[in-house]
Structures are given as C-alpha cells and as structure tokens.
Amino acid sequence: MHSGDFYRNGKFAYKLHQRDIKRSSRLTFRVSIQDKIIYTITKMVQNKSVNFVEVPTGYPVKDKTMKLVTGEIDLEQKLEDGAVIVKVLYVSIDPYQRGRMRDASIKSYAPAFKLNAPIDNGGVARVVKTANSSYKEGDVVYGYFQWSEYQVISPQEAKALRVVENKEGLPLSHYVGALGMPGMTSWYGLTLGKQEKGKTAFISAASGAVGQIVGQLCKRRGMYVVGSAGEDAKVDFLLNECQFDAAFNYKKEGPRDALKKYCPNGIDLYWENVGGETLDAVFEAANDFSTIIACGMISQYNTTEPYGVKNIMNIVAKRIKMQGFIVLDEFDGQWVQDFFAAVPGWIKNGEMKVKEDIAEGLENAQDAFIGMLQGKNFGKAMIKVAQE
C-alpha cells in the first residue's frame, strides 16, 4: 500500500495520499478520502502447499507424485462460526502417508489423499484467527493439518484440535513426535502386550519416531531391549542414548542371524514396524506365548510385489498373539492422561531422549518424505513450516 494513483476497475479514480490509507487490522487496509471509506483492500497472503497430484507406483517421485504450489489465502476472511485459521508450525512425515497415495476407490484405514489437494497429516499450528470459543488467537494447537503454510479449519475439523499446554516449555516440534501421534502410538501400543522385567523386547525401525519411544518405555519397565535400524549412526543412538541392551544394523547383519545373536533368550514382545524378512525372522525367534504388536510394515509400503511371509505357522505353534492397531481408534482412553502425565516430564529432565529429523520449509517436504520412506531420516521426520 503506497500512495500514488489509484485505479478502480482499471480506470483512474483519484490521487491517493498516504494519509488516506488506514490499516484497520494487520492485513486489511481502508482507503478513505475525507473520512468516507471508498475501498477496503484485503491483502491476500501467499500460501505455499504441497499437493498430491498423481498416484505413484513404488516410491513416490518428486514433482510427479507431489507438487509444491503457491496459492493465496485471505487471512481476514469472515469465518463460519466454530472455524479457525491457523499458521502451521510443524507437520509430520509418516510412513502411513504412502498408503494414502492411492486411487480413492480403494478403501483402507486412512482416507486416500485427494488429487490436486494438499497432503495432510498431524502437526502443530498457531491460531491466527478464531471464531471458536475453544481456541483463542495465539494458541498452539495439535491436530491434522494440510502441508500448507496457512489454512482455514472448518468447525467440524476444529473440534478435533487440542490446545498444546506445554507447561514444560519443550520445543513445539516434540508435539509432532514424542508427544504427538508417534509417542502416543508407542504408549498405547504397549498396552497390548506384557512388559515383564528381564523378558526380551525387540523393536524394528527402532530409531524412528515410534520405535525410539517404545524402546525407552520398555527399558523403563525393566525389559531387555533390542533394536534394529538401517545405519550405524542409528544403532549408536539406540545403544548410547536410548540405552538399549543391544542393537544391530539389519543391512549389515541379516535379521535372522542377528536375532539369534542379540536375543539369546528369544523374543517375548516384538514391536513390528517393518514387516517382510524381519517379521519372518521374528516368527522363528519368538518365544511361546509371545506378542507381536503390529504398528506398521514400512518395507511393504512401496513395493508392488509384497514379501511372502513363510513362517506364519509359528503363530499356532508358539501361541503367538499378533495384534494390529491404529492409535486414532483409541484416543479417548485414560491412557492419554497417563501419557501426558509421564512423558513430557521424562523428556524435560533428560530421562528420555528424543531424536528429530526436521526438514526446513515446505520446499524440502518432498525430499524429506521420500527419504523417510527409504529410511534416510534419523529420528522423527517432520517439516518445519514456519518459525514458532
């Protein structure tokens, strides 16, 4: 907004002086002459998003499967009662999103992404405009957000937001990882299997967002904890920071041999993140009456030729309970209170370690997502969309 000639519908209207322009809010300007408002100009704000544009075969391809687009948003728009506008701070990158990159006619537990619309996922955002009495401007909220800088959250969607209190003053990124969906997944998932002192827990993808918390929770509960990861640096993190009893690089030592070596007393609790060959090896190494908590099978998400699991008969022979779950089904339990009463404090006082892999800006979201599917991230993968 500068002074100068002012045109209306392409036609010269009047000479505009700076004194005629008044900012009535952060983004709206009123143009008035002799105190008569002659025009209200809303500054449309640039709004970058990452859209889903094509169903991939195998791994997603940058700028083919997804596309970074720049749109505009009117941050001063009149909101429907109950709606809010948020500025996204962090959004999560998770393996299960690969499953949403499918033809919408195929049903699954999570809805398919809409073509030519932004990808969405869990994240943390700041409320910048509110027509909902549950959220005030400036609140940090946790919820499902688009991979966009700004967005309008409908009254219906707004009901699912949760205000982040963060009494401990932790980095807000933790509410996408250890204190967000992945951390809650770890806590809830472990309600499905016994954690007994001295018994062996094995966790695949153990340095990842969920695995690192699962392992540390099992350690706290007195178990002998073994993890697998795909890089030596991740193995070091598990051993030295998360205090696992053993960890191995499955690319260097095949899971079958490694489990014999590192789980000398067999496996009592397996946290399944990867599927495929590792799962087959676990069926061999599992003890009678063991539990497999099936959280995901990342090795299978990008393949058109799924691995054929050959040792599944052990479910009968060893009386194994294998249980799949999705944490979203169980969000109303007492366990949510238990989780928030315990974990933030442990992170604050350093008893629990958190490793994050943060990509800066939506410009880097595609590389980060594809890299995560290839196991290149080290710790909880997410995008920092804007400064806190």
Residue 169: closest CA among 373, 382, 362, 349: 349
The CA–CA distances, whole Å, from 49 to 96, 120, 151, 175, 189 equal 20, 10, 10, 21, 32
CB atoms within 10 A of CB 68: 17
Residue 181: closest CA among 142, 151, 237, 149: 142
What residues from 6 to 45 belong to the interface with a copy of itself (CB under 8 A)? none
With tokens 């687009």, the residue in question is 69
Out of 118, 208, 211, 296, which residue is the one contacting a copy of itself (CB under 8 A)?
296
CB of 272 to a copy of itself, least distance (A): 8
Is residue 308 part of the contact set for a copy of itself (CB under 8 A)? yes
Nearer of residues 59 and 340 to a copy of itself, judged by Cβ: 59
**Among the candidate windows 47-55, 168-176, 291-299, 351-359, which touches a copy of itself by CB under 8 A?**
291-299
With tokens 């809805």, the residue in question is 111
Nearer of residues 153 and 181 to a copy of itself, judged by Cβ: 181
E strand residue ranges, 62-185:
66-73, 84-92, 117-118, 120-130, 140-146, 150-153, 162-163
DSSP 339-360: HHHHHHHHHHTTSS---EEEEE
Applying CB under 8 A, the site for a copy of itself has a residue count of 34
**Among the candidate windows 54-62, 215-223, 289-297, 365-373, which touches a copy of itself by CB under 8 A?**
289-297
CB 214 within 8 A of CB 189: yes
Residue 108's identity, in one-letter code, is S
Measure the CA–CA gap between 311 and 317, rounded to whole angstroms: 10
Is residue 300 part of the contact set for a copy of itself (CB under 8 A)? yes
Is residue 312 part of the contact set for a copy of itself (CB under 8 A)? yes
Residue 196's identity, in one-letter code, is E
CB of 221 to a copy of itself, least distance (A): 22
Out of 42, 64, 319, 374, which residue is the one contacting a copy of itself (CB under 8 A)?
319
What residues from 329 to 358 belong to the interface with a copy of itself (CB under 8 A)? 329
CB of 280 to a copy of itself, least distance (A): 9
**Among the candidate windows 65-73, 116-124, 148-156, 317-325, which touches a copy of itself by CB under 8 A?**
317-325
Nearer of residues 100 and 199 to a copy of itself, judged by Cβ: 100
Measure the CA–CA gap between 367 and 210, rounded to whole angstroms: 21
Is residue 1 part of the contact set for a copy of itself (CB under 8 A)? no
**Among the candidate windows 19-27, 63-71, 121-129, 309-317, which touches a copy of itself by CB under 8 A?**
309-317
CB 229 within 8 A of CB 262: no
What residues from 208 to 227 belong to the interface with a copy of itself (CB under 8 A)? none
What residues from 262 to 281 belong to the interface with a copy of itself (CB under 8 A)? 272, 275, 279
The partner residues of 140 in beta bridges, in order of sequence, read: 126
Nearer of residues 20 and 94 to a copy of itself, judged by Cβ: 94
Residues 6+ apart with CB under 8 A from 187: 213, 217, 335, 338, 339, 343
Q: What is the dihedral of CA 240, 244, 246, 251, to 10 degrees?
A: -80
Out of 321, 345, 360, 374, which residue is the one contacting a copy of itself (CB under 8 A)?
321
CB of 99 to a copy of itself, least distance (A): 7
Measure the CA–CA gap between 201 and 219, rounded to whole angstroms: 9
Is residue 371 part of the contact set for a copy of itself (CB under 8 A)? no
CB 385 within 8 A of CB 92: no
**Among the candidate windows 114-122, 229-237, 307-315, 339-347, which touches a copy of itself by CB under 8 A?**
307-315
What residues from 102 to 141 belong to the interface with a copy of itself (CB under 8 A)? 108-109
Out of 242, 320, 343, 385, which residue is the one contacting a copy of itself (CB under 8 A)?
320
Footprint on this chain of a copy of itself (rule: CB under 8 A):
99, 108-109, 272, 275, 279, 288, 294-297, 300, 306-326, 329
